Amino acid sequence: MAVIFPRWTNIMPTAVAVIVPVVGAVVVGVIWYWFSPMFTDVGYQPEQPVAFSHRLHAGEMGMDCRYCHNTVERAAMAAIPPTNTCMNCHKVVKADSEKLSLIRESHEGGEAVEWVRVHMLPDYAYFNHAPHLSAGVGCNTCHGQIDEMDVVTQDQPLSMSWCLDCHRDPGPNLRPPEEVTNMDWDTETADYTRQVDAEGHPMDASGTRTLVPPDNCGGCHR
């Protein structure tokens, strides 16, 4: 009887058994490493319709984040300021600047400036700014040193694992609520004793509320 397959085909089952898992592991590793938010999202820096500098306003001028993002302590979203907020100052300051022409047009015509959102979470992930700020999580914990950015850049991955790391051990990221917008606050060197309850869970600054952030699916996927 004639030989249908050459002798080397005898090693094919072994080769497939070895190569397929290795290739699969490499593919999974590549996707996990290079397609994660740490690589795809961190550093995102869209061009805005108006060249607004946080370095100037929040840094050099020391404006509090809440002057513009005035709903951040009581709502899920940190509101993008309306043009009227800008014009509170710019009716007088650089009132004729060409760079602010779109702001003036928006103020006069009533159409909002179409700012480009930088920090985006998927619709299936629930996030509320208010409880985070009331617990003592600072703005720069998630957004980085905004006061040093001429153009806002995404500083952290905002991934599920990144959020869970904090929820499982929030203590190192907490500060007194009155310091949440303090961009110079360093949680590692600050002279601040974080209170804990009898079981070691962190408490709020008043020492009356234990902070136990959810680490189950329903906490963020509702």
Residue 100 lies in a domain: no
Phi, psi angles (nearest 5°) of residue 203: -120, 165
The Cα–Cα gap between 131 and 140 comes to: 16
Q: Which domain holds residue 193?
A: 123-220
Residue 145 lies in a domain: yes
Contact (Cβ atoms closer than 8 angstroms) between residue 159 and residue 37: yes
Residue 149 lies in a domain: yes
Residue 143 lies in a domain: yes
Residue 49 lies in a domain: no
* Cβ count near 44 (within 10 Å): 15
Number of structural domains the chain divides into: 1
Instruction: Give the burial string for 190-213 (b: 16+ CB within 10 Å, else e).
Output: eeeebbeeeeeebbbbeeeeebeb
User: What pLDDT, on the 0 to 100 scale, is given for residue 151?
Assistant: 96
User: What pLDDT, on the 0 to 100 scale, is given for residue 2?
Assistant: 64
Q: What is the pLDDT of residues 104-124, one digit of tens each?
A: 999 999 999 999 999 999 999
CA angle, 78 then 112 then 47, to 5°: 75
Residue 84 lies in a domain: no
Residue 70 lies in a domain: no
pLDDT below 50 — which residues of the chain?
Answer: none
Give how far the C-alpha of residue 90 lies from the chain's centroid of Cα atoms, to the nearest Å.
Answer: 29
Give how far the C-alpha of residue 100 lies from the chain's centroid of Cα atoms, to the nearest Å.
Answer: 28
Residue 190 lies in a domain: yes
pTM check: above 0.85: no
